[in-house]
Amino acid sequence: MHGPRKLPELVESIYDAGLDPAMWNGVVAGIRDFVGGQACGLFSKDSISKFSVTHYYCGADPHYIQLYSETHSKFDPLTVLPPHGEIVSIPDLVNFDEYRRGRFYQEWMQPQGCSDAANVVLEKSSCPVMMTVLSGRRMVDPAMKHRLSLIVPHASRALLINRAITSQLTLATALADVLDNLACGIFLLDAFCRVVHANSAGHALLAADDVVRSVAGQLVTSSAEANQTLREAFGTRTDVALLAARDRAIPLLSPSGERYVAHVLPLSSVLRNGNERVADAAGALLLRKVALGGPSYGELIARTFDLTPAELRVFLSIVEVGGVPETAAALGIAETTAKTHLHRVFAKTGVSRQADLVKLAAGFSNPLVN
């Protein structure tokens, strides 16, 4: 009934549960049958409050599982937990005669037809994860402990796998939420500038079909020069890193007249791994609209660079409207006056081209989705 021929299959199912936690219910049933118990469960128990949560179980009435979590976990013999990996039965923990007179036995074990239990800590933490195999009318014997000992190392490793995967999924979900709340479009591109992944803002930009679009899966911008730059950079991953290291921002003007700035970001994990699969992202493209987000951002720029009101108006007009002639017409001033203010803006901001003012302004835009 409990022959070792079942062990390889059971161990395999334990590691399958390490990858897919939904399989643990079937695994605990297999462990119960292999060990020779009446019921089996995986539960965690707070070492201070003694509050318990049963995660997976078999062979027990749900009423008693709930009763244990709500009240009886504080009365069970596991007041002091055994060392990690050590299998103990109830007589190893407390005086058995006193235990049989207590509430835990009288109200919880005996009504279920159980007398003893084999317990082991599988994962040590502030809220340890334990496994319990409840025995029927007979006591837990050395043979049962031995069979359980064959399972313990594998179950412990499977729980570690569960925790690692959950941690990675939680991190990935959190990072995805952060990316989706950024106002700038983020595109992960492969060596052929094909879109591997995009955040919400990136998908919105593609749907708008204005400054960028997807053509047969490839990202195409509104600028032929920018497209050439990106294809040359992403075609060789080291060039992506060089382009980013030079802090080379790419100004873009959409057909509708909206101004954008693009930045290239190398993916260091890809460079470290040296993976050359076509489907891998070679780098990231960050694309955001040059929008100052209201008067407060203009005030911030003015304070940062000590611009006069007239200089700030020219600065903002150059960014949002266009060159000197367009700025002069928009502000109702002479072109010579616009040029004078622009040269003062250049001196105070430390840039020398109108395109650089566009890039500078992008740094003051709100990075979060409004």
Q: What is the CATH classification number for the domain harbouring 191?
A: 3.30.450
Sheet holding 52-58, edge to edge: 52-58, 39-45, 129-135, 116-123, 88-89
Q: Do 237 and 314 have their domain in common?
A: no
pLDDT at 33: 94
Residue 41 DSSP symbol: E
Q: Do 160 and 194 have their domain in common?
A: no
Q: Do 347 and 206 have their domain in common?
A: no
Alpha helix positions (H), 1-141: 7-19, 24-35, 62-70, 90-93, 96-101, 103
181 in Cβ contact with 168 (< 8 Å): no
Q: Do 29 and 156 have their domain in common?
A: yes
Q: Do 193 and 165 have their domain in common?
A: no
- Classify residue 247 as left (phi > 0), alpha (psi -120 to 50) or beta: left
* Domain assignment of residue 196, yes or no: yes
* Domain assignment of residue 44, yes or no: yes
**What value does the mean pLDDT of the chain take?**
85
Q: Do 114 and 31 have their domain in common?
A: yes
What is the tens place of the pLDDT at every residue in 10-60? Answer: 999 999 999 999 999 999 999 999 999 999 999 987 766 667 788 999 999
Q: CA dihedral in degrees (344, 347, 350, 356; nearest 10)? A: 40
What is the tens place of the pLDDT at every residue in 288-325? Answer: 887 655 555 677 788 889 999 999 899 988 888 888 99
What is the tens place of the pLDDT at every residue in 335-363? Answer: 999 999 999 999 999 988 888 888 787 77
What is the tens place of the pLDDT at every residue in 247-289? Answer: 567 888 888 888 888 888 877 654 334 444 435 778 889 998 8
Q: Give percent above pLDDT 90 in the chain.
A: 47
Of the pLDDT bands very low, low, confident and very high (cuts 50, 70, 90), residue 154 is very high
Given a cut of 70, is residue 67 above it in pLDDT? yes
* Domain assignment of residue 178, yes or no: no
Given a cut of 90, is residue 61 above it in pLDDT? yes
Of the pLDDT bands very low, low, confident and very high (cuts 50, 70, 90), residue 4 is very low
Element (H, E) at 240: helix 237-245
Q: Which of 141, 173, 205 is the last residue of a domain?
A: 173
pTM recorded for the entire structure? 0.58
* Domain assignment of residue 369, yes or no: no
Candidates 162, 170, 168; CA nearest to 15 is: 162
Q: Which of 154, 173, 192 is the last residue of a domain?
A: 173
* Domain assignment of residue 119, yes or no: yes
pLDDT at 360: 82
pLDDT at 213: 93
Q: Do 18 and 160 have their domain in common?
A: yes
Relative to beta strand 195-198, strand 185-189 is: antiparallel
Q: Which of 173, 202, 226 is the last residue of a domain?
A: 173
Q: Do 232 and 346 have their domain in common?
A: no
pLDDT at 3: 43
Of the pLDDT bands very low, low, confident and very high (cuts 50, 70, 90), residue 82 is confident
Q: What is the mean pLDDT of residues 90-114?
A: 93
Q: Do 75 and 169 have their domain in common?
A: yes
* Domain assignment of residue 368, yes or no: no
Residue 211 belongs to domain spanning:
183-289
Q: Do 227 and 322 have their domain in common?
A: no
Radius of gyration of the chain (CA): 33
pLDDT at 276: 42
Q: Do 63 and 134 have their domain in common?
A: yes
pLDDT at 298: 76
Q: Where are the beta strands (DSSP E) in the chain?
A: 39-45, 52-58, 88-89, 116-123, 129-135, 185-189, 195-198, 212-215, 218-221, 250-253, 259-266, 283-289
Given a cut of 80, is residue 241 above it in pLDDT? no
How many folded domains does the chain comprise?
A: 3
- Spatial neighbors of 112 by CB under 8 A, at least 6 apart, are 38, 39, 60, 61, 64, 134
Length of the chain counted residue by residue: 370
Query: Using CA atoms, how far apart are residues 281 and 184, in angstroms rounded to an integer?
Result: 19
Q: Do 154 and 88 have their domain in common?
A: yes
Residue given tokens 């002091």 in the structure block: 80
